[in-house]
Amino acid sequence: MIRYIPLAALLVSTPALSQSLPPVRPLGGTVARSTEPMGTVTTAIPMPGGKVLVNDILKRRVLLFDSTLSTFTVVADSTSSTANAYGNRNGGLLSYRGDSALFVDPSSMSMLVINPEGKITRVMAAPRPQDVINLVGGPNGAPGFDPKGRLIYRTNPMPTRMVQQGGRGGAASPMVPDFPDTVPVVRFDLGTRTLDTAGFFKINRPQISVTTTANGGMMMSSKQNPIPIVDDWAMLSDGTVALVRGADYHIDWVAPDGTRSSSGKVPYEWQRLDDEGKAALLDSARKEVEAARERMQAQMAAGGPVTVMAGGGGGASFEVGTRVAAGGGGGAPPARGGDAGRGGDGRGGDGRGAGPGGPRMELPPINMVNADELPDYRPAFTAGSARGDHEGNLWVRTTSPVGNAGPIYFILNTKGEVIDRVQLPESRQLVGFGKSGEVFMALRDTDGNVRLERAKVR
């Protein structure tokens, strides 16, 4: 998580546009709060009777809470407490037909259908294996089904070619993958197993380098840009796909029938970064990400599970494998710090520590881009910031300075007009929408546990 540093060191004033925007107001009052301690809540889905289905990826559980959030049943778990195993990788949760939901298990490449009572009724094959990790959500956006029954999600960027690092041959110049800077949002028909592309959006292309380790192996690392200019996407309740453009903050719309349109630039109070502000931002980001890396390294050394769902940069999703074969030297790109509330680098994954005395993967140091590679204006949003509610509106979490409070969301209609601006309370993260003008938020308490809150939008 990248914290905001003092504005005096960060910002140079730009002309305000507040006169053309509705005032920022606090979110409505809290209706209920859970007492069950959870690890990391990424998704909350409303179910009939006011019940809520929750994905706790850190503890690898799917829970069904009652309408008061005071009692719950376990739908899936990684322990023997239930016959339904969560799996050993981050799972995804999304609404399905009628009042049912789907749990996506990347380990088995399957999707489990959950009925309103929290029972798993059947199992379906997931879409293409290379795309299943993107159904987990987080920085890759919130996948879902449109009214025609098509599953809408973004795909992973695949390397277009391998290039020689440094442009020279020889053992000292290994080949590295060259990733594209755009990825498609696709619509997948589960019945016919056919796929079509709704549109493309810009992501943060990783700057990857490979070095030779002391034992002759290879270590892959990459530079981080804490505030890349990226696009984002979301699906609205009628199946419209919104492509939110980061360069000028406008929205391209793709209707369910394929009709395309664009709305004008969203009025926004852009925050300029001078040289001093860029240096201070990099220093703050480096400290936060290095602290996250050290926490992960300590978890790996203890042989415990390591789970990261980072958000922000829009790059590919990777899993951090902390177990390596004896005598082997493989590994994965490093996980990067950040969370969905503040932005990071768009990488996610999970890992499992090697057994006592076994070989371990050492996470490489964190590298940041140079200050002159940062944009002159702070981007309006980060990857994984856009969501569609049940009223057909688009919510975009902005990077507007907030002090000690929670993030500010712009709420837009399908004309691209900002109809409301709401601010979440401190230490809250938006994880879902209710069907009666409500939102679900994850609150992390002082002990590090997460509680689920239900609150009114107004």
Cβ atoms within 10 Å of 165's Cβ, excluding its own: 15
The predicted-structure confidence for 288-318, as pLDDT tens digits, reads as follows: 888 877 777 776 666 554 544 443 333 333 2
Q: Work out the pLDDT band at 282, boundaries 50, 70, 90.
A: very high
Question: 78 with 86: CB under 8 angstroms?
Answer: yes
pLDDT of residue 326: 25
Q: Work out the pLDDT band at 448, boundaries 50, 70, 90.
A: confident
What average pLDDT does the segment 207-212 reach? 73
Q: What is the pTM of this model?
A: 0.80
271 SS3 class: coil
Whether pLDDT at 43 is above 90: yes
pLDDT of residue 159: 66
Alpha-carbon distance of 399 to 313, in angstroms, equals 13
371 SS3 class: helix
CA neighbor of 309 nearest in space, from 279, 271, 335 = 335
Alpha-carbon distance of 269 to 345, in angstroms, equals 24
Alpha-carbon distance of 184 to 457, in angstroms, equals 32
pLDDT of residue 340: 32
Strand order in the sheet with 367-368: 207-212, 218-224, 367-368
For the chain, state the CA radius of gyration. 21
Contacts of 258 (CB under 8 A, 6+ apart): none
Contacts of 204 (CB under 8 A, 6+ apart): 181, 225, 228, 230, 313, 314, 315, 345, 346, 383
Strand order in the sheet with 92-95: 92-95, 101-105, 110-114, 120-125
pLDDT of residue 436: 85
Cβ atoms within 10 Å of 330's Cβ, excluding its own: 10
Query: Tokens 């390397």 correspond to what residue?
Result: 159
What average pLDDT does the segment 202-221 reach? 76
The predicted-structure confidence for 319-359, as pLDDT tens digits, reads as follows: 332 222 222 222 222 232 233 333 333 333 333 344 444 44
Q: Is 62 exposed, middle or buried (0-12, 13-18, 19+ CB in 10 A)?
A: buried
Give the lowest-confidence range in 69-83, 223-237, 311-325.
311-325
| Domain ranges within the chain, ordered by starting residue | 7-165+174-456
Question: 185 with 233: CB under 8 angstroms?
Answer: yes
Residues in the chain: 458
Please indicate whether residue 449 or residue 290 has the higher confidence score (pLDDT): 449
Q: What distances in angstroms separate CA 376 from CA 116, 232, 371, 408, one per listed residue?
A: 49, 20, 10, 21
Question: 322 with 352: CB under 8 angstroms?
Answer: yes
Q: What is the CATH number of domain 7-165+174-456?
A: 2.120.10.30
Cα 137 to chain centroid, rounded:
6
Most confident of 7-11, 18-22, 109-113, 309-313: 109-113
Alpha-carbon distance of 113 to 428, in angstroms, equals 29
What average pLDDT does the segment 414-441 reach? 94
pLDDT of residue 318: 29
